[in-house]
Amino acid sequence: METLTSPLAGLRARGIALGGAITVYLLLGGGAVFLLVGCLQSTRFAQLTVSGLAVGAAYGSLALALVLIYRATHVINFAQGELAMATTYIAYQLIQWGLSYWEAFAATLAIAFVLGTALELVVIRPVQHRSVIAAVIVSVGLFILIDGVVNWIWGGGIRFMQSPFSGSYDLGGVNIQHLYAGMLGVVLGCVLLVWALFRFTKLGLGMRAAALRPAAAALAGVRVDWMLALGWGLAAVLGAVAGMMYEPSQLLLTPTFMQEALVYAFAAAVLGGLESPGGAVVGGLAIGVFLNLLAGYLPQVVSLEVPFAFAVLLAILLVKPSGLFGRREVSRV
Amino acid sequence: MTALLELQDVEARYGPVRALHGISLAVEEGTIVAVLGPNGAGKTTTLRAVSGTVRRSGKITFAGRSLGRLGPAAVARLGIAHVPEGRGTFSELTVWENLRLGGYTRRGSIEPELERVFTYFPFLSERRRQHAGTLSGGEQQMLALARAFVQRPRLLLLDEPSLGLAPVLVAELFRIVRELNEKEGLSVLIVEQNAHLALQAAQNGFVLEAGKIALAGTSEELRADDSVRRSYLGY
């Protein structure tokens, strides 16, 4: 007890926390320098890095969706990837019906928002108050349900959806495909918009308050139940962005195309700290680049990508469960 | 004159455990009312019954409207601010964000409101960008009060505001509550262990024992009562 209350111990604890933060930033800075030097040295490396960042952004967006829901309700939403897959099918269908790509994109985001909100209201809310595990099991059920519905409507066959970005441009001798540049830009733009919503609007403040301390938020007049439903809606929007942007990089649309991405998104979220929105995005980018370089330079291990993501997940949980940016629970007495 | 807040035969329960056994009390507009009683008597539950954070039955009316089945967010929107025990500040948010949450139910800018609040709590103005978790316990309690005040309530529910605070801060806190009451006509229902302070600030008081009202009266009457003196004032 004495060591806990002594000021020295407090200082030491703070020093360790500060040291941890510095280590994380050194690690990230080192990684960034490594990528930059590699890009300058080799065009192949640069291309792999750009496409890795682009798919990584999609993982990051999906990871952010997981983190938003986890922060608000402590539920890991296993259906997040399938929801993203289903909304991508909706975009595909809208394009088939004659909408332009961006009209379909915008309409799909709106549909995803309504769908996410409705799922929370109808499926999650009734079990939310019982236990977290009940909600998690319901989300697994939702995974199967969405999968079944998509297979029923569109069938399990392969479909093609064009990318809105075609061609490529030359950047200092490096041939960069518009597909990846556009993907990176759109996903990060959407993530930034969601961040701004949370950071600068009254609604966002209400959502953060509802996630942090529901009881106290309600006393301030925040309709907590509504905030949670809106959170699901926003998460579904992020997932839809990830799905629609990720699909062209996979070249085909099948009912299983987001399942690998979900595994990477889990790894990204855990790497970032599960409670940290920024960490999820950084984690997604890191995993995207890493796996892409791995597959690019060691093509013989391509089939080990998913097991590798699991290994990363396991390693983080063993070595640093709070991830890169997660805070350890500190309660002041 | 009808009271601003009126409780009639209010019962409240946590699961199968009944915490209030039919209490009736009233808060007149513009007064401070103290609720005294030993631990576990149902003081906190009384406040929670009003703000809708516990299951309750019986009649609760506020400004002529029944609070019946309203939840906490709806009650807050009617003009009741509840500062719970343990402050209820959001330590992960900045001071400004905490105050902004206080004005969550209000439309438009809260800047004029903030100016007014900063005249009572000047230190908050300099620290508006700071995370609330970096404030001291006393400062956090002040922030909780300031946040409730930004809400511009007609009735303030204060739960153990002195808990864990240095005597100097407790005195300051009560001075501000009295000033708000005198200058702005704010009505206050306050639960407080420190019966001296509570009865000094309040015009009326109630003593709760085992979920029932044991005694009610003006502060002078309660101070003169033998059992109150022995149990709560200590002389």
Q: Is B104 exposed, middle or buried (0-12, 13-18, 19+ CB in 10 A)?
A: buried
- B108-151 tens-digit pLDDT: 788 888 888 899 888 998 998 899 988 888 888 889 999 998 98
Q: How far is CA A217 from CA A204, A299, B76, B89, B141, in A?
A: 13, 52, 10, 9, 16
* Cβ–Cβ below 8 Å for B84 and A219: yes
B:70-99 residues touching chain A, CB 8 A cutoff: 71-73, 76-77, 81-82, 84, 88-90, 92-93, 97
Q: Tell me whether residues B90 and A216 touch, CB distance under 8 A.
A: yes
Give all domains of chain A, ordered by start, each with its CATH number.
42-319 (1.10.3470)
Which one of A213, A216, A221 has the shortest CB-CB distance to B105? A221
Q: Which two tokens stand for residue A32?
A: 């960034």
| Chain A residues with CB-CB distance to B134 below 8 A | none
Map tokens 């103005």 to a residue. Answer: B125
- The 8-class DSSP code of residue A303 comes to G
| Nearest-Cα residue of chain A relative to residue B80 | A219
Contact (Cβ atoms closer than 8 angstroms) between residue B60 and residue B54: no
> Which runs of consecutive H residues, i.e. helices, occur in chain A?
2-5, 7-41, 43-73, 80-96, 101-119, 125-128, 132-154, 178-200, 202-212, 214-219, 224-250, 259-272, 277-297, 305-319
A306 touches chain B (CB under 8 A): no
**CA–CA–CA angle B181, B186, B190 (5° rounding):** 80
Q: Please report which residue ranges of chain B form alpha helices under DSSP H.
A: 43-51, 72-77, 95-102, 111-120, 122-126, 137-150, 167-184, 195-201, 219-224, 226-228
B163's tokens: 């808990």
Nearest CA of chain B to the CA of A206: how many Å? 7
Torsions phi, psi for B5 (to 5 deg): -125, 130
pLDDT of res. A5: 44
Per-residue pLDDT of chain A (333 residues; tens, 9 = 90+): 333 445 555 556 566 666 677 888 888 899 999 888 888 888 889 989 999 999 999 999 999 999 999 988 888 999 999 999 999 999 999 999 999 999 999 999 999 999 999 999 999 888 887 888 888 899 999 999 999 999 999 988 888 887 888 888 887 778 888 889 999 999 999 999 999 999 999 999 999 999 999 999 999 999 999 999 999 999 999 999 999 999 988 878 999 999 999 999 999 999 988 888 889 999 999 999 999 998 889 888 777 888 888 888 888 888 888 888 876 544 443
**Residue A325 token pair:** 């940016």
Question: Which residues in chain A are closer than 8 Å to B82, comparing Cβ atoms?
Answer: 219
Give the best residue of B54, B101, B149 to mutate against chain A (max A CB count within 10 A).
B101
Question: Contacts of residue A216 in chain B, CB cutoff 8 Å?
Answer: 84, 88-90
Size of interface A-B (CB pairs under 8 A): 60
Beta partners for B12?
B20, B56
Residues 6+ apart with CB under 8 A from A14: none
Half-sphere exposure of A289 (CA within 13 A, CB side): 20
The domain ranges of chain B are 1-79+158-235, 90-152
> What confidence score (pLDDT) does residue A283 get?
93
Tell me whether residues B92 and A219 touch, CB distance under 8 A: no
Q: How many residues does chain B have?
A: 235
Report, at the CATH architecture level, how domain B1-79+158-235 is classified: 3-Layer(aba) Sandwich (3.40)
C-alpha span between A313 and A268 (Å, rounded): 8
Determine whether the interchain pair B101/A220 forms a contact, defined as Cβ–Cβ distance below 8 Å.
yes
Spell out which residues of chain B touch residue A14, defining contact as CB-CB under 8 Å: none
In DSSP terms, B10 is beta-bridged to: B23
**CA B81 vs CA B60, B61, B86: distances in Å:** 16, 15, 15
Across the interface, whether the CB atoms of A223 and B104 are under 8 A apart is answered: no
Q: What's the token pair of residue A70?
A: 């986890």
Asked if A212 is an interface residue toward chain B (Cβ–Cβ < 8 A), one would say: yes
Q: Which stretches in chain B have pLDDT values below 50?
A: none
Residue B74 to residue B83: CA distance in whole angstroms:
16
pLDDT of residue B165: 84
Locus of tokens 């989300």: A139
Nearest to B105 by CA among A206, A75, A74, A289: A206
Residue with tokens 């970005």: A165
A129 close to B (CB below 8 A):
no
Of B53, B73, B89, the CB nearest to A223: B73
A17 lies within 8 A of chain B by CB: no
Residues in chain A: 333
Angstrom CA distances, A247 to A54, A250, B105, B107, stand at: 12, 5, 42, 42
Contact state of A212 with B71 under an 8 Å Cβ cutoff: no
DSSP per position, A49-113 = HHHHHHHHHHHHHHHHHHHHHHHHHS---TTHHHHHHHHHHHHHHHHHTT--HHHHHHHHHHHHH
Task: Decide if A209 touches B, using CB distance below 8 A.
Answer: yes
Closest by Cα among A86, A237, A83 to A150: A86
Q: Are strands B155-159 and B187-191 parallel, antiparallel or unpaired?
A: parallel
Q: Do A219 and B82 touch (CB under 8 A)?
A: yes
| pLDDT value for A7 | 53
Minimal-distance CA residue of chain A relative to B157: A219
- Measured CA to CA, the distance from residue B150 to residue B174 in angstroms comes to 18
Cβ separation of A216 and B88 shorter than 8 Å? yes
Cα–Cα distances (Å) from A178 to A164, A166, B153, in that order, read 9, 6, 56
B221: distance to nearest CA of chain A, Å? Answer: 33
CA distance A203 to chain B (A): 9
Angstrom CA distances, B214 to B16, B22, B43, B166, stand at 23, 12, 12, 30
Distance from CA of A69 to the nearest CA of B (A): 18
Cβ pair B71:A209 closer than 8 A: no
Distance (Å, rounded) from C-alpha A24 to C-alpha A225? 36
Is B141 an interface residue toward A (CB < 8 Å)? no
> Which residues in chain A are contacts of B101 at CB distance < 8 A?
205-206, 209, 217, 220, 222
Strands B80-83, B155-159: pairing is parallel
Q: What is the pLDDT of residue A330?
A: 46
Taking alpha carbons only, the member of A19, A59, A93, A21 closest to residue A283 is A59
Q: What is the predicted ipTM?
A: 0.88
Token pair recorded at residue B233: 């004032």
Structure tokens at A95: 């394009």
